[in-house]
Amino acid sequence: MITSRIPGFYNMTVEERRELLASKHVFDDEKKGHSLEQDALPVTTADNMIENVIGTYPLPLGLGLNFLINGKDYIVPMAIEEPSVVASASHIAKIVRNAGGFTTEATGRVMIGQIQVVGCPDMEAAKKTLLAEKDALINDANAAYPSLVARGGGAEDLEVRLLNENSDSKYGKMLVVHVYINTCDAMGANIINTMVESLAPTIEQLTKGKVFLRILSNYADRCLAKAKCVIPPELLATGDFTGEEVRDGVVHAYEFAASDPYRAVTHNKGIMNGIDPIVIATGNDWRAVEAGAHAYAARHGKYSSMTTWSTDDTGNLIGELELPMSVGTVGGSIRVHPMAQVAHNMLNVESAEELAQVIVSVGLAQNLGALKALVTDGIQKGHMALHSRSVAMAAGATGEMIDIIAEQLIKQKEIRVGKAKELVEEYIK
Ligand code: MEV
């Protein structure tokens, strides 16, 4: 098994890192890092992915290290522009690793397709008719996507909901059919949309109503993944702060996010700092994951923290994160984007369920990274060290000059482009 513990990775050059990964057989022969070069997404491929293409928009791809999840090591590809995120995830993953690693679980891979029906002369009768025809409708849905059924998935169940039954508005009253579809290892948007579109004519006939929307729901609350970590306080000690102080600070920070939407949004943004980069790197739809995650954070009627942090009887810090995770390991842009293929190759997950569990572990680690920094030194210290490099580059520093200027900016406690420009000018004089 490849270890994700690679001491000193941070201090290597990009070339050295690539060579090391190749020597550790992190990529299989076919993928041996070739797509990590400039042309990671050929513009001809991009031109076939979306419309009106004029180029591509690269992001830095870093590796989250030290992740041990259910006893398995993961090297986590993270595509993100924000400094500190990858370092922080790896730092916390190392702490959690020393505490035994993350434990995770996932529900099945059931996604939801919705069909909106309006104008039924009798909504209750329409509902009854649809439920009486449930098996036939499920069969019809599956007939629209036989290859999914062949892979062991397909439509499994169907429900009918009546919305706004007492509405006076002619637009308000509607019947909504939910088709529950096991999409196996695909995120499944195209599959679901094809299935629900195929059912629309029959549903119009059965209900005597008119179908408008036929689309998946991104609120994938039957496709959940959950990560947990248990950390003895001594592993949390940092600088002048004891482990107990850090632990208590984290639980206080959680309580703040749990009770105040203003804080919860920022707290959850920090969680998505970990989740989006891996969702993006693996060629998945991060808007879908974001939308579902935030809705799930409001499932009890009030927008709240996505994570929970508490202590157990022996004083350990317990963190948990459960989210809808509608991601795939096949289909969509995964097939066509060379970097997505590299990311999957490196992650070495065997199923979408496994990928989902890695993703929530990274989200949980990222949250703890942010909270640990916030309740101790504040985030600026670590953030600014990395930010100073971007500032140095924005001021025109290149090559070895970047580190020299960045260091001077930190030393002089003035991490501004103006100051960096002065230093660059001085350097090249
Ligand atoms: C910054 O990108 C993310 C944080 O604001 C998250 C948080 O406040 O918990 C540091």
- How confident is residue 39, by pLDDT bands cut at 50, 70 and 90? low
Q: How confident is the model at residue 38, as a pLDDT?
A: 60
Q: Where are the alpha helices (DSSP H) in 297-379?
A: 338-347, 352-374
Q: What average pLDDT does the segment 38-45 reach?
A: 85
Q: How confident is the model at residue 32, as a pLDDT?
A: 57
- How confident is residue 258, by pLDDT bands cut at 50, 70 and 90? very high
Q: Which residues contact 309 (CB under 8 A, 6 or more apart)?
A: 250, 251, 253, 254, 317, 318, 319, 368, 371
Q: How confident is the model at residue 266, as a pLDDT?
A: 98
- Quickly name the fold that domain 110-217 has: Alpha-Beta Plaits (3.30.70)
Among the listed residues 416, 281, 411, 423, the one whose alpha carbon sits nearest the alpha carbon of residue 340? 281
- How confident is residue 277, by pLDDT bands cut at 50, 70 and 90? very high
Task: Round to whole Å and give the CA distance between 80 and 289.
Answer: 16
**Beta pairing, strands 61-69 & 72-79:** antiparallel
Q: Which range is least confidently modeled, 130-139, 318-327, 331-340?
A: 331-340
Pocket test for ligand 1, best of 256, 266, 304 (most atoms within 8 A of CB): 266
Core vs surface per residue 7-30: b (16+ CB within 10 A) or e: eebeeeeeeebbeebeeeebbeee
User: For all residues of the chain together, what is the average pLDDT?
Assistant: 94
Per DSSP, the three-state class of 88 is helix
Q: How far is the CA of 270 from the centre of ligand 1 (A)?
A: 4
Q: Tell me if 273 CB under 6 Å of ligand 1.
A: yes
Domain covering 381-428 in this structure, CATH number: 1.10.8
Q: Decide whether 9-106+224-364 matches 381-428 in CATH topology.
A: no
pLDDT over threshold 60, residue 247: yes
The per-residue pLDDT for range 372-422, each reduced to its tens digit, is 999 998 887 777 777 888 899 999 998 889 989 998 998 898 889 999 999
| C-beta of residue 372 within 8 angstroms of C-beta of residue 84 | no
Q: Tell me if 370 CB under 6 Å of ligand 1.
A: yes
Among the listed residues 250, 281, 224, the one whose alpha carbon sits nearest the alpha carbon of residue 104? 224
What phi and psi values does residue 146 have, to the nearest 5 degrees?
-60, -30
Tokens linked to 217: 């729901």
Tokens linked to 59: 């992001």
Domain ranges in the chain are 9-106+224-364, 110-217, 381-428
What would the DSSP string read from start to end of 118-129? E--S-HHHHHHH
Pocket test for ligand 1, best of 276, 374, 375 (most atoms within 8 A of CB): 374
pLDDT over threshold 80, residue 285: yes
Helix (H) or strand (E) holding 176: strand 174-182
Domain covering 9-106+224-364 in this structure, CATH number: 3.90.770.10
Q: How confident is the model at residue 170, as a pLDDT?
A: 85
Q: What average pLDDT does the segment 41-68 reach?
A: 96
Helix (H) or strand (E) holding 17: helix 14-23
pLDDT over threshold 80, residue 328: yes
- Residue count of the chain: 429
Q: Which range is least confidently modeled, 85-99, 170-184, 352-366, 377-391?
A: 377-391
| Ligand 1 nearest atom to the CA of residue 379, by list position | 10
Q: How confident is the model at residue 377, as a pLDDT?
A: 87
Q: Which residues make beta-bridge pairs with 241?
A: 238
Q: What average pLDDT does the segment 55-66 reach?
A: 96
User: Tokens 């891996």 appear where?
Assistant: 278
Q: How confident is the model at residue 400, as a pLDDT?
A: 86
Task: Round to whole Å and give the CA distance between 225 and 322.
Answer: 6
Q: How confident is the model at residue 296, as a pLDDT?
A: 98
pLDDT over threshold 90, residue 254: yes
pLDDT over threshold 60, residue 33: no
